[in-house]
Amino acid sequence: MTCKEAFQEISKYYDGELTNDEKRVLKEHLGRCGHCQIVFDTTRKTIELYCEGELFPMPEVVRSRLHQALRRKFEQKAT
């Protein structure tokens, strides 16, 4: 497996699309290639960072304005 092929396989790995044989080949390549191992680890880390909900909190005032807008909409519909 070349490094270029490994990058594609890493993405497929995170999609759960590799067969056991393909995973074994990828793991063997990662074991031999420090660069690809880092791409593997930091791709996972990239996904994890964007999933970190606490980094993107919704301010209370935003929530409050949303509910005010909704209530105006409910009232419009009722009249």
Where does this chain bind other proteins (CB under 8 A)? 4, 7-8, 11, 13-16, 23, 27, 34-35, 38-39, 41-56, 58-59, 62-63, 65-67, 69-71, 73-74
Inter-CA distances, 60 with 1, 14, 32, 57, 66, Å? 51, 35, 50, 9, 10
Give the nearest distance from C-beta 66 to other proteins in angstroms.
6
DSSP class of residue 58 equals P
- Cβ(25)–Cβ(1) below 8 Å: yes
Give the nearest distance from C-beta 54 to other proteins in angstroms.
5
Give the nearest distance from C-beta 73 to other proteins in angstroms.
6
